[in-house]
Amino acid sequence: SEAAELLGLMHYMEGMRLLTALELAAPTSDENVTVTDTELSGVPVRLYLPRRAPAGLRRAVLFFHGGGWCLGDAGMHGYDIASRRISNELDAVVVSVNYRLAPPHHFPAQFEDVYSVTKFFLRSKVLSQYGVDPARVCVAGDSAGGNLAAAVAQQLPEDPEVKAKLKAQVLIYPALQALDLDLPSYRDNAAKPLLPRPLMVRFWSEYFTSDPALREAMATNSHVPPEAGHLLPLVNWSRWLPAAMRGAHAYAGPALGGAGLARRYPGLLDPRSSPLLAGQARLRRVAPAFVLTCEHDVLRDDGAMYAGRLRAAGVPVTHHHAEDAFHGAVTFVSWPLELAVGHRLLNTCVDWLKDNL
């Protein structure tokens, strides 16, 4: 992808998306679940419906895939397997959303797509159509999808048009803030697969713009404008991280600068893109959360800090930290990318949903 971009053959993310295409599975139904590609609120989704006769109203999970807001698809093998399992084992309707990707679509397009589908699905007429209990609906996602799920969970209680409330949110190694890209986890895991720091910086910058100036500023953690200084306590890892994750690192906040960049790309300071920037009053209203973090992951500290901030706001939180896992592990559940840790973490997520949704 880097070589193709340097040669002017294609954008870096276009090259990366070729890897996504290799992982796609057709919408194939089986003896337990009917699988179809359709649209909800004008947005493409993959819909999973249990085939057995319902014993009553069903649960529902709206799932948002990862891929740095630039890659990924609901039809990738790992997501397809997870969605089938959730639909079959929980007797749940699963809506896996194919939101628009960057480039060419930048923030807030991705958020708007997943929010539009969620809001549409929560209408009483639609819930009734699918036989879903309005009190047992969850949003979930991994990585960038975890970011989108957290943002949706924050926005819904603020929306006077939405009457139903989410029962839960499942955030799998979520990316939750773009303000400080020098957390201990970014330092400890800067060169580790599958998400080295330069790639995460690229994902964050592409979410907002293809302007390389933002990417260059993010790479040196000097993209935060002076007027955002009041937001830094919300992402101050020396306060919100457990001591074990802080380790021997010394806190140094981002170098203030980048005022022009922040004016051109205001999404940088928007809690819909960085849910960790939400105030306590906004957090207090969100659904109970399951947060999965992995030790060998640049995004480890985002999830851990969010779990701490949610607890401080009085929100019930289950924080499961996998000491032996890496970013993306939950999708490693099918040949040739099949690992025991992937099955274990997926089982953990499914079991939590069984008990809490």
Residue of 113, 297, 301, 302 marked catalytic:
297
Terminal alpha carbon distance of the chain:
41
State residue 260's pLDDT score: 87
Domain count, the chain: 1
Task: Give pLDDT, residue 337.
Answer: 87
Amino acid at 127: L
3-class secondary structure per residue, 76-119: EHHHHHHHHHHHHHCCEEEEEECCCCCCCCCCCHHHHHHHHHHH
Beta strands in 109-256 (DSSP E): 132-142, 168-172
In this structure, are residues 267 and 107 in contact, taking their beta carbons and an 8 Å threshold?
A: yes
Quick check: is 46 in a domain?
yes
**Residue span of the structural domain in which 34 resides:** 1-180+275-356
Residue with tokens 């701490």: 308
The length of the chain is 357
Q: Write the CATH number for 121.
A: 3.40.50.1820
Chunked in runs of 10, what are the mean pLDDT values of the chain (357 residues)? 73 81 92 98 98 94 98 96 97 98 96 98 98 98 98 98 97 98 97 95 96 94 91 96 94 85 91 98 98 98 98 98 97 92 98 98
Q: Is residue 241 part of a domain?
A: no
Q: Residue 55: which H helix or E strand, with range? A: none
pTM score, two decimals?
0.97
The 3-state DSSP class for residue 215 equals helix
Point out the catalytic residue in the list 143, 205, 273, 274: 143
Is residue 216, in this structure, part of any structural domain at all?
no
Pairwise CA distance, residues 190 & 194, whole Å: 10
Of 11, 65, 296, 327, the active-site residue reads: 327
Residue 215 lies in a domain: no
In a domain, 33, yes or no: yes
What is the pLDDT at residue 7?
64
Q: What Rg, from alpha-carbon coordinates, does the chain have?
A: 19
C-alpha distances in Å from residue 331, one per residue of 17, 47, 172, 173, 292: 17, 19, 11, 12, 13
Helix, strand, coil % over all residues of the chain, rounded to 5: 45, 20, 35
Q: Is residue 206 part of a domain?
A: no
Instruction: State yes or no: is 327 an active-site residue.
Output: yes
Residue 172 lies in a domain: yes
Is 143 a catalytic site residue?
Answer: yes
User: Is residue 291 situated within a structural domain?
Assistant: yes
